Amino acid sequence: MPIVKFIEFNGKEHDIDANNGESIMVAATSNLVPGIDADCGGECSCATCHVLIGAEWQSKLETRTDSEESMLDLNPDRTDESRLSCQIIMSDNLDGIVVNLPEFQY
Amino acid sequence: MVIIGAGQAAGQAAASLRQEGYEGSITIIGEESQPPYQRPPLSKAYLSGELPMERVLVRPAKFYDDKNITLHTGTRVESINRGTKSIATDDGQTFNYEKLLIATGSRPRKLSIPGSDLNGIHYLRTIDDVDGIRAAMENAKSLCIVGGGYIGLEVAAVAASSGLKVTVLEMESRILQRVTTPEMSEYYHALHTERGVNVMVNTGVSGFSGEGSVNEVLCGDDVRVQADLVIVGIGIIPNVELAEAAGIDCENGITVDAHCRTSDEDIYAAGDCTNHPNPILGRRLRLESVPNAMEQARVACANMLGGDKTYASVPWFWSDQYDLKLQMVGFSGDGDESVLRGDKAANQFAVFYLKDGNVVAVDAVNSPKEFMVCKQLYGKAVDKAALADPEVELKTLLN
């Protein structure tokens, strides 16, 4: 099982065993990682699963879809590293991915 | 901690209690046979077969064991005894609580008219309901939907896309009458008509006919609609009976304060079943909405553990029909004027609603940026000309 390293805004780390085929959002909520609300359940409808992923891992991810891009665009904490974690599906080649959590979800 | 109900608020509440560091016992008691699941996909991607059952669960089935949460499915709570701080279930068990969360949700309003007990007439609230509807849809040729609300229209979209002949009957003068403006009603009426759905307004249902199974919907003396499958979506009723019988204050829902506490200080309530104050809107509400269920569950749990958290969120909603995603913030009825941004003919537009010049709501069709900006502009004044001009970047309105 690939591992996701979540780092909370306060620096606290959580190494989580994710299942292949499930989203990073599901890996977080199934393991009680705080900081991801995911109100819409993964439909890319609410943008409350915002995370930050560094360039070295971004290059291994599929690029943002139009709808993910639009949902993120107006987030006040938006950076080049911003992603919606419900849209990133785990696989072995993402083993060890580092996911930083923002201070707030909007 | 005991949670009555096993819907979305209950699932979130159990997770929130553990997330807040609570290590004592948590018991969830629900009537349905499944662990807590999400209801919104039921009339959308679960009905169409796009999403399997595992993907609609609030948390994976093994989550509850992993986190030492006791889940009693298929179990009905019979009564709450506030004196002994316990509840009794239909299988003869008693559970003591220190704090109790009532998350009993709501149930579909039923029709009671001639023929309404015929086979082939369905309601949509649970996974079991939808499994029944899906099976019936495989052999059905014509579907009649009673009620032009979001549930009915979402089902109409799925069924029309799968080739069924679909009729929607609405007793009011327009579909979505209770929840949106004439402008949006007209847009969705035209959309469904274009996709081959027969939408009939001002048409109340008086009965059903058929031999054992429905084959006609009767609307007064003049109108008969052929249908071998009927789905009734005419609203929901909050499940307050348990709370009421226990002497807890209820008025159009279980009455809670801004901390999600009921009139009994050890009993909280969350989700569709509550009537709660919203300090941002300045009035009490009963909401049929997932974000509300999730946020109330979080607030209730924090307070059940001795915290001091207040519920204060701007309501938001979404509805998927065909390839259109409608995202809404606030209540359009709160506005006294509207501003259109985008192009209705291109199925990409947003209608913003303002009161005294301040943004109070949006209906955004395939326009997620407009939805997101409304969440941030809520209650604030805005340059109307700029808002109406799609060439003006929304970001510039936030300064």
Its pTM stands at 0.95
Residues of B with CB under 8 A from a CB of A: 15, 18-19, 38, 40-41, 55-56, 58-60, 63, 67, 290-291, 294-295, 316, 318, 320, 325, 327, 367-369, 372-373, 375-376, 394-395, 398
B376 to A46: CB separation less than 8 angstroms, yes or no: no
Domain B110-232 has what CATH class?
alpha beta
At A43 the pLDDT is 84
**Per-residue DSSP letter, B110:** P
From the number of C-beta atoms within 10 Å of its C-beta (0-12, 13-18, 19+), residue A21 rates as exposed
Residues of chain A in contact with residue B372, where contact means CB-CB under 8 angstroms, are 47, 70-71, 73-75, 106
Residue B74's pLDDT band (cuts 50, 70, 90): very high
For testing the chain A interface, which of B317, B321, B369 should be mutated: the one with the most A CBs within 10 Å? Answer: B369
C-alpha distances in angstroms, A42 versus A7, A27, A55, B210, B239? 21, 12, 23, 42, 27
| Domain ranges in chain B with CATH number 3.50.50.60 | 2-107+237-304, 110-232
Residues of chain A in contact with residue B325, where contact means CB-CB under 8 angstroms, are 45, 67
Per-residue pLDDT of chain A (106 residues; tens, 9 = 90+): 899 999 999 999 999 999 999 999 999 999 999 989 898 888 888 899 999 999 999 999 999 999 899 899 888 889 999 999 999 999 999 999 999 999 988 8
**Contact between residue B352 and residue B374 where contact means Cβ atoms under 8 Å apart:** yes
Locus of tokens 């096993």 = B6
- CA A86, CA A24: separation in Å to the nearest integer? 6
Query: How many Cα atoms within 13 Å fall on the side-chain side of residue B139?
Result: 5
Residues of chain B in contact with residue A26, where contact means CB-CB under 8 angstroms, are 60
- Which alpha helices (H) appear in chain A, and where do they start and end? 24-30, 55-58, 66-73
| Domain ranges in chain B with CATH number 3.30.390.30 | 323-398
At B324 the pLDDT is 95
Which chain B residue's Cα is nearest to A78? B395
Q: Which two tokens stand for residue B348?
A: 């990409």
pLDDT tops 90 at residue B398: no
Residue B35 sits at the vertex; the CA angle it makes with B253 and B311, to the nearest 5 degrees, is: 40
pLDDT tops 80 at residue B112: yes
For B141-164, the pLDDT digits (tens) are: 999 999 999 999 999 999 999 999
Q: Which two tokens stand for residue A20?
A: 């292949």
Which chain A residue's Cα is nearest to B13? A32
Distance between A60 CA and the closest CA of chain B, angstroms: 25
Distance between A9 CA and the closest CA of chain B, angstroms: 16
Share of chain B above pLDDT 70, in %: 100
- Tell how far CA B32 is from the center of its chain: 17
Residues of chain B in contact with residue A41, where contact means CB-CB under 8 angstroms, are 38, 40-41, 56, 58, 290
B290 to A106: CB separation less than 8 angstroms, yes or no: no
Of B291, B369, B395, the CB nearest to A70: B369
Torsional sign, CA B337, B339, B345, B347: negative
**Contact between residue B260 and residue B311 where contact means Cβ atoms under 8 Å apart:** yes
Distance between B235 CA and the closest CA of chain A, angstroms: 21
**Contact between residue B313 and residue B289 where contact means Cβ atoms under 8 Å apart:** no
Number of CB pairs, chain A paired with chain B, less than 8 A apart? 63
**Contact between residue B107 and residue B234 where contact means Cβ atoms under 8 Å apart:** no
At B222 the pLDDT is 85
For testing the chain B interface, which of A12, A17, A46, A82 should be mutated: the one with the most B CBs within 10 Å? Answer: A46
Q: Which CATH architecture has domain B323-398?
A: 2-Layer Sandwich (3.30)
CATH T-level fold of B2-107+237-304: FAD/NAD(P)-binding domain (3.50.50)
Average pLDDT, integer, range B221-248: 96
Which residues, listed in sequence order, are joined to residue B96 by a DSSP beta bridge? B86
Average pLDDT, integer, range B304-321: 96
Average pLDDT, integer, range B71-93: 98
Residue B399's pLDDT band (cuts 50, 70, 90): confident
At A88 the pLDDT is 96
* φ, ψ (nearest 5 deg) of residue B304: -60, -25
At B253 the pLDDT is 98
Share of chain B above pLDDT 90, in %: 97
ipTM for the complex shown: 0.90
Helix (H) or strand (E) holding B230: strand B229-232
A3-100: CATH superfamily: Beta-grasp domain (3.10.20.30)
Question: Which of A67-76, B202-211, B276-285, B297-306 is predicted with the least confidence, judged by mean pLDDT?
Answer: A67-76
